[in-house]
Chains A and B, each alone.
Chain A
Amino acid sequence: MTLLIEQTLNGIQLGLLMFLLAAGLTLVFGIMDLVNLAHGSLYMFGAYFCASFTAWTDSFVIGALLALPAALLLGVIVEVVVARKLYRRDHLDHVLATFGLILIANDLVRLVWGPDGRRIPLPAWLNQPIYLTPDLPYPTYRFAVIVVGAAVALFLYWLVTRTRTGMWIRAGASNRTMIGALGINVELLFTLVFGLGAVLAALAGLMAAPIVTVSIGMGDNILILAFVIIVIGGIGSIKGAFIAAMIVGMIDTLGRALLPDLLKTFLSVAAANTAAPALSSMMIYLLMAGVLVWRSTGLFGARG
């Protein structure tokens, strides 16, 4: 029973971690309608910035706080130099250009930080487990992830659905010409939003870093996962992305926890042992395929 509670907590935590990864992408892709494959690179830069600043200041918290403005700056530069020329283009042009950005980012990181990865050591107070019950320790840092993830979710929801800025972003994504003709400086607006996307990516990167460690290309695989989440949730819906992340986190965790035993009830032990890991790798794709075959625009999506 405690095991089940613990695994549920693990699932929630993984879900929120994945929401963090997907949050910036929801903003930039789901709402601004820019397919930014380099989102994963911004995530990586966030982690590297944080690693360097943490090493420099000897404090993870200060390091993290310094990494965010650095990421904003980077995001603004990328927007001005490349991304802003892409908004009016086809999604596939976005893909090609931002794929180029990934290549540049990975080699740039190698050039600057070298090929070795980094581990960000946590301060002692975040590093110990908390005992939920005497025999159920839970890592403190995971609670921090849960809190930050939930806060980001609320902030984004408020920004996009409750503010005029949010309306302009959505309007600008569907019809740039017209939003300009209403007197709104789309160019500036989009630069800032892209910058915010970069900050969110970096935040995800630096929050994940103590768990997954910092390495070149760390954002590339995550990117697919983030896309999976916002697609399951329905593009453009923050609520959807949040719920999808929780579902994926839960199914993934519980699947890994329970699948082998489940399979053993009707397969031989050896067969179960080979089938379980294969199935759990496929799990999120099966989930996505199932959702999309059932509802062609994700759980909460309106447009394609």
Chain B
Amino acid sequence: MAGLLTPLTTWRGRITALLLVLLGLLPWYAPWLDAAGIISQKFALTLMTRVLILAIAAVSLNLILGYGGMVSFGHAVYIGLGGYTVGIMAHHGVQDGFLQFPLAIGLSALLALAIGALSLRTRGVYFIMLTLAFAQLLYYVGVGLEAYGGDDGLTINRRSDFAGLLPTRGLDKIVAFYIVSFVVLVLVLWLVHRLVNARFGMALRGTKSNETRMQALGFATFHYRLAAFVIAGAICGLAGALLANHTEFISPAMMHWTRSGDLIVMVVLGGMGSLFGPLYGAIAFLLLEEFLPSLLRLVLTWLHGGISAVLGGAAIGTLDAWLRLAEYWQIALGTIMILVVLYARGGIDSLFGRPRHG
């Protein structure tokens, strides 16, 4: 694991370490949060499980987008494929996770191989749109799968079974699944870290920087790009398998282009080409989506109180009318995104200080 954390001597390293510790220990201090009335234990864990799983998907996207310069606008398709693999197997009574997961990963890798082989001939926006096109094709296949619910989706009755190791009911199930997701995330981060700093990663990043030059140096750039594309697809398929288990439900919406868009937003928001950027991005994006309205309501209540104390209550309308404004929280979310782009170049990650070059 050494080397995963940027040295603890920098602020950046310390913040990252703190974040990982906080995430890792959540199951143990969640009851305390619950008791303090901050957030219920179950909800905190379910919500953060989702965050962790999507962070895995974002990390995988970052491998090709941040390090390889390949902007896949169809990355959610692997979430979908991973999810459908688990869902369809479960639907036919195959619950064994040791079958489901490798198959989900393998199929995703295969799909990535096919999509990559066709798309990687193109560059820039053409590549973006081609990956989108393939994802949309799969999406419509999902919509057409009437046997598995079409676009209504399919409920998964039982989660993947890992030789009975994971609890299947109640709080234990939630806690266990959180821990599994966290461990997978850490392993994936470690894998990506090794990968991008190894020779393979240097070749990949060089290809992003200047492909022609890399060819002139003797790198068969297509192969590196394709290999990265397949690895990313496989990891994302794993995230899909986890997500299907988490939501116990699959539907084509998992691979809709807007989901691919969300993944891109997470990566860019967090910081592309930085190991932990996508994690920050996923946390920020998903938690903002969840808590921004409540936060706004708090702020509005506070503002209303303050202003009405000064101007008199009647002048500014009822608190209720003000609180309705919180329904328009996406204005705030949009504004935050724009501010991050304009003033935090390099995403959230850059707020903690830029890493040394590379």
Chain A contacts to B: CB under 8 angstroms: 35, 82, 85-86, 89, 91-93, 95-97, 99-104, 106-108, 110-111, 224, 227-228, 231, 235, 274-275, 278, 281-282, 285-286, 288-289, 292-293, 296-298, 301, 303-304
Query: What bracket does the count of chain B residues touching chain A fall in?
Result: 35 or more
Among all A-B residue pairs, the 5 with the closest Cβ atoms:
A100-B337, A103-B334, A304-B123, A104-B334, A100-B334
Report the minimum CB–CB distance from A241 to chain B (whole Å). 13
B130 within 8 Å of A (CB atoms): yes
B140 within 8 Å of A (CB atoms): yes
- Residues of A contacting B328 in the complex (Cβ-Cβ under 8 angstroms): 107-108, 110-111
Q: How far is the CA of A104 from the CA of B331 in the complex (A)?
A: 4
The reply to whether A92 and B268 contact each other, CB–CB distance below 8 Å, is: yes
- Residues of A contacting B316 in the complex (Cβ-Cβ under 8 angstroms): none
Which single residue of chain B is at the shortest CB-CB distance from A115? B327
18 A-B residue pairs with Cβ-Cβ distance under 8 Å, sorted by A, are A89-B341, A92-B71, A95-B268, A96-B268, A96-B340, A97-B341, A100-B336, A100-B341, A104-B334, A106-B330, A231-B126, A231-B129, A275-B144, A278-B144, A289-B137, A292-B130, A296-B126, A297-B126
Report the minimum CB–CB distance from B303 to chain A (whole Å). 17
Q: How far is the CA of A106 from the CA of B129 in the complex (A)?
A: 24
- Residues of A contacting B338 in the complex (Cβ-Cβ under 8 angstroms): 82, 97, 100-101
Interface string of B124-163 (1 = CB under 8 A from A): 1111011011101100110110100000000000000000
Report the minimum CB–CB distance from B239 to chain A (whole Å). 21
CB neighbors of A among B251-279 (8 A):
257, 261, 264-265, 268-269, 272
Within 8 Å by CB of B126, from A95, A106, A304, lies A304
B318 within 8 Å of A (CB atoms): no
Report the minimum CB–CB distance from B317 to chain A (whole Å). 15
Report the minimum CB–CB distance from B267 to chain A (whole Å). 8
Known: A86-B341, A93-B268. A281 touches B140 (CB 8 A): yes
The reply to whether A99 and B265 contact each other, CB–CB distance below 8 Å, is: yes
Report the minimum CB–CB distance from B347 to chain A (whole Å). 8
Known: A85-B342, A101-B338. A304 touches B264 (CB 8 A): no
Known: A100-B335, A100-B336, A282-B140. A296 touches B341 (CB 8 A): no
B121 within 8 Å of A (CB atoms): yes
The reply to whether A274 and B122 contact each other, CB–CB distance below 8 Å, is: no
Chain B contacts to A: CB under 8 angstroms: 65, 71, 118, 121-127, 129-130, 132-134, 136-137, 140-141, 143-144, 146, 257, 261, 264-265, 268-269, 272, 328-331, 333-338, 340-342, 345
Q: How far is the CA of A35 from the CA of B73 in the complex (A)?
A: 14
List 7 additional contacts besides A100-B334, A292-B126; criterion CB under 8 Å.
A35-B125, A85-B342, A92-B268, A96-B341, A99-B265, A282-B137, A304-B123
The reply to whether A289 and B134 contact each other, CB–CB distance below 8 Å, is: yes
- Residues of B contacting A228 in the complex (Cβ-Cβ under 8 angstroms): 129, 133
The reply to whether B342 and A97 contact each other, CB–CB distance below 8 Å, is: yes
Max chain B Cβ within 10 angstroms of own Cβ: one of A85, A95, A108 = A95
Report the minimum CB–CB distance from A29 to chain B (whole Å). 8
The reply to whether A227 and B341 contact each other, CB–CB distance below 8 Å, is: no
Which single residue of chain B is at the shortest CB-CB distance from A99? B265
The reply to whether A296 and B122 contact each other, CB–CB distance below 8 Å, is: yes
